[in-house]
Amino acid sequence: MRLLKIPAGEIPAFRRRLLRWFAEHKRDLPWRRTRDPYRIWLSEIMLQQTRVAAVIPYFERFLEAFPDVRALARARTDRVLALWAGLGYYSRAKNLQRAAKEIVARHDGKFPRNYEEALALPGIGRYTAAAVLSIAYEGPHAVLDGNVARVLARIGALEGDLRAPGMWRKLESEAQNLLARNVSGDWNQAMMELGATVCTPKSPQCGECPVEKWCRARKLGIAEKLPAVRKKRATVDLTLAAAVLLDPQGRTLLVRQLDGEGALFSRMWQFPALETKGSDAGATLAAHLLKEFGVARNGNFAPLSTARHTVTFRNIRLEPYLVHVARLPRVKGARVIALSEIRGLPISNATQKIADSAIARQVG
Ligand code: SF4
C-alpha cells in the first residue's frame, strides 16, 4: 500500500510536470554546471547543515586549492581544515579527506559507481551516496533529505514524526517509487529544489507548485501544519574557560585536542582551555594553567569579554582570559604563533572569537 496515493497511471505526468518546472526554475549553482563526481560530492558534504549562499565561496576556494580527488588525498590535513574553517562541523572535512585517500588507494582515484562501495566510504551515508551516484552517473537511487521528506509528507498528507523508526524507511520507498530512473540526477535535484524553494517549511507557495494537483495536504488545507514538529534534543549549557597566553613579542600558544569524546574542537588549534562547572571559571583555569603548563597567576590574569558559541546541542559560554607571561611555556605538540596571525590556521569560530576579543583588548 503506497502512502502517497498517487494513482500509478498518473506518475508519468507527475514526473513530467516536476522535471519541466525544474528545467525552467532551477537556481544556477556552481555544482550544477558539472557532472564531475568529486565536485558533486564536495558540494553535498558542504551543504549538509549549511546554507547554499554560505557554501558557494568555500566551494570555490576549496576547489582552487584541491582541484581533484588526488590533490585532496595528498594535502596536509591542516590545510584542508584551514579551508573549512568557518563552515563548522569539521568532522565533515576530516571524513572527506579520509574518503579521498580511500578513493585513490582502492578505486584508482575515481568515485565508485557502486552504491555499496560508495556507502563504505567515510562520511557517506545513504543520502550522499544516492545524490552523488544519481547526479554524476545517473545511478537509479532516489535521495531522501529533509526537503524531499517534507514534500512527500505534504503530498501524502502524512501525520507524525517523519524521522520516527520505520517512517523514514517508508519515505525512502516512496521516493524510490517516484524516481524518474532515466534522469535520476535531475529528478533528485528537482525534488530537493521544490522543497528548498517552493514547498518551504513555512508558507509553502502552493500556487507556484508544479505538482499541486496531486497534493493531499493542499486539498485538505493543512500544508503549513505538516510535517509535525520534531522534539528537539535538549541543549546542554557549559562554560569554557580559555587562556590567551601572551608574551612580550605578541606571541601566543595554541594546543590541539585529539578526536574522541569530549573533544569540542577536535584536531583544531585552540587556546588552552577547560570546561568549568562552578561559578569561578578564572580560578579553575588558573589552577589548570599552573598544573599543566607551570604558569603561575601573578596579577597577570585579565578577563576578556565573554561570548556565546553553539556546537550541535551544546550551548557554550566562552570565558576567556588574557594572561601576560614573560616567556611562553614549552609544551610538546603545541604551536607558538603571533596572535594576529592565527586566522590562517585551522581554528574554530569559538577560537576566532576569543582571539578577536584579545586583540581588541590590546588595541584598546
Ligand atoms: Fe508543497 Fe503546496 Fe506543492 Fe503540496 S502543493 S507539494 S504543500 S508546495
Amino acid 280: pLDDT: 83
pLDDT digits (tens, 9 = 90+) for 339-350: 989 887 888 888
Higher pLDDT, 264 or 288: 288
Using the 8-state DSSP alphabet, how is residue 34 labeled?
A: -
Please tell me the predicted confidence (pLDDT) of residue 116: 93
Regarding the beta carbon of 143 and ligand 1, being less than 6 Å apart is answered no
Q: What is the DSSP string of 155-206?
A: HTT--S-TTSTTHHHHHHHHHHHH--GGGHHHHHHHHHHHHHHTS-SSS--G
Predicted confidence band at 264 (pLDDT cuts at 50, 70, 90)?
low
**Cα(252)–Cα(249) distance, integer angstroms:** 9
Q: What is the rounded average pLDDT for all residues in the chain?
A: 91
Is the pLDDT score of 3 beyond 70? yes
Annotated catalytic residue: which of 10, 24, 44, 174?
Answer: 44
> Residue 319: beta bridge partners?
241
Residue % of the chain over a pLDDT of 90 = 67
Check pLDDT > 60 for residue 22.
yes
Confidence band, pLDDT 50/70/90 cuts, at residue 261: very low
Q: Quickly state the pLDDT bin for 258 (edges 50, 70, 90).
A: low
Q: Above 70 in pLDDT, residue 141?
A: yes
CA-to-CA distance for 42 and 62, rounded, in angstroms?
A: 9
Q: pLDDT band at 232, cuts 50/70/90? A: confident
| CB distance 197 to ligand 1 below 6 Å | no
More confident residue, 331 or 128: 128
Domains and CATH numbers, the chain: 8-225 (1.10.340.30), 236-363 (3.90.79.10)
The atom number, within ligand 1, closest to the CA of 215 reads 4
> Strands, E, within the chain: which ranges?
236-246, 251-256, 269-270, 273-276, 301-303, 307-311, 314-324, 335-338
Residue 196 Cβ inside 6 Å of ligand 1? The answer reads: no
Q: Is 285 in the pocket of ligand 1 (CB under 6 A)?
A: no
What would the pLDDT profile of 273-314 be if each residue is shown by its tens digit? 888 876 788 888 999 899 888 888 877 888 998 888 877 778
The rounded Å distance from CA 152 to ligand 1 centre is 9
Residue type, position 30, single letter: P
Ligand 1 centroid to residue 200 C-alpha, Å: 9
265 contacts 354 by C-beta, under 8 angstroms: no
Mean pLDDT of 117-138: 96
Does ligand 1 have an atom closer than 6 angstroms to the CB of 216? no
pLDDT score at 145: 95
Per-residue confidence (pLDDT) for residue 332, from 0 to 100:
85
Q: Is 44 a catalytic residue?
A: yes
For the segment 111-123, the average pLDDT, to the nearest whole number, is: 95
pLDDT band at 260 (very low <50, low <70, confident <90, very high): very low
CB of residue 218 inside a 6 A radius of ligand 1: yes
Q: Residue with C-alpha cell 488545507? A: 221
How sure is the predictor about 262, in pLDDT bands with cuts at 50, 70 and 90? very low
Mean pLDDT of 179-208: 97
Mean pLDDT score, 114-132: 95
pLDDT at 199 over 80: yes
Q: Which carries the bigger pLDDT value, residue 227 or residue 262?
A: 227
Higher pLDDT, 124 or 89: 124
In this prediction, residues 232-252 reach a mean pLDDT of 89
| Range with the poorest average pLDDT among 89-98, 146-155, 168-177, 352-361 | 352-361
Cα of 223 from ligand 1 centre, angstroms: 7
Does the beta carbon of 6 sit less than 6 angstroms from any atom of ligand 1? no
**Percent of the chain clearing pLDDT 70 (strictly above):** 96
pLDDT > 60? residue 263: no
User: Which residue's alpha carbon is at the smallest distance from atom 1 of ligand 1?
Assistant: 199
- The interaxial angle of helices 37-47 and 91-106, nearest 10 deg, is 160
Instruction: Supply the residue whose CA is at minimum distance from atom 5 of ligand 1.
Output: 212
- Which atom in ligand 1 lies closest to the alpha carbon of residue 195? 1
pLDDT of residue 90: 86
pLDDT value for 112:
97
- CA-to-CA distance for 128 and 133, rounded, in angstroms? 8
Ligand 1 centroid, distance to 112 Cα (angstroms): 35
Q: How confident is the model at residue 213 (pLDDT cuts 50, 70, 90)?
A: very high
Q: Looking at residue 265, what is its pLDDT?
A: 67
